[in-house]
Structure formats: C-alpha cells, structure tokens
Amino acid sequence: MDYEAGNLLAARLAPDLHPLARQIQFVCTQAREVVCDWAVRHWHRCGNPTIWMRRVRLSIRHWSTWPPPTRR
C-alpha cells in the first residue's frame, strides 16, 4: 500500500491531537531541551569546554540509541 508523505504528516491519530508532523516536532524539541538542560546544569562540574562537549556528545549518542540493544 502506498501512502503520500504529505497525507501521513497531516494525519491525526485522534481528533483532539495535533497532526503527526507537529507531534514529531514536539518530540524533537523536547529531546533537544533535555540535552540543553543537562548541559547547562553540568557545565560547572567540568570547567573545561573540551571535556564538557565530549560529555554532551556521549550523552546524545547514548540517549539517541535508547532503548539499548538487547544482549544475547
């Protein structure tokens, strides 16, 4: 079954919800705010911008792969 991307992004999961495109935007904004909030709160612990940026990148990498892969 083929769907047009525009139709899917304009679709609503329920009448009282925003369209799918807006829901995706909300999720992305919330994720960015979490990382920014964490970075600001932990800046004073590092003092070194290089170490701080490394920790921010590692945190983003960690949370972007959530849930972690299952081990066999």
- Choose between 53 and 1: higher pLDDT: 53
- Choose between 63 and 34: higher pLDDT: 34
Q: Are 33 and 44 in contact (CB under 8 A)?
A: no
Q: Are 21 and 10 in contact (CB under 8 A)?
A: yes
Listed residue (38, 8, 36) closest to 23, CA to CA: 8
Q: Is the pTM of this model over 0.75?
A: no
Q: Are 19 and 11 in contact (CB under 8 A)?
A: yes
Q: What is the pLDDT of residues 55-71, one digit of tens each?
A: 778 877 777 776 666 66
Query: Can you give the pLDDT at residue 36?
Result: 74
Query: Can you give the pLDDT at residue 46?
Result: 62
- Indicate the average pLDDT of the chain: 78
Query: Can you give the pLDDT at residue 18?
Result: 92
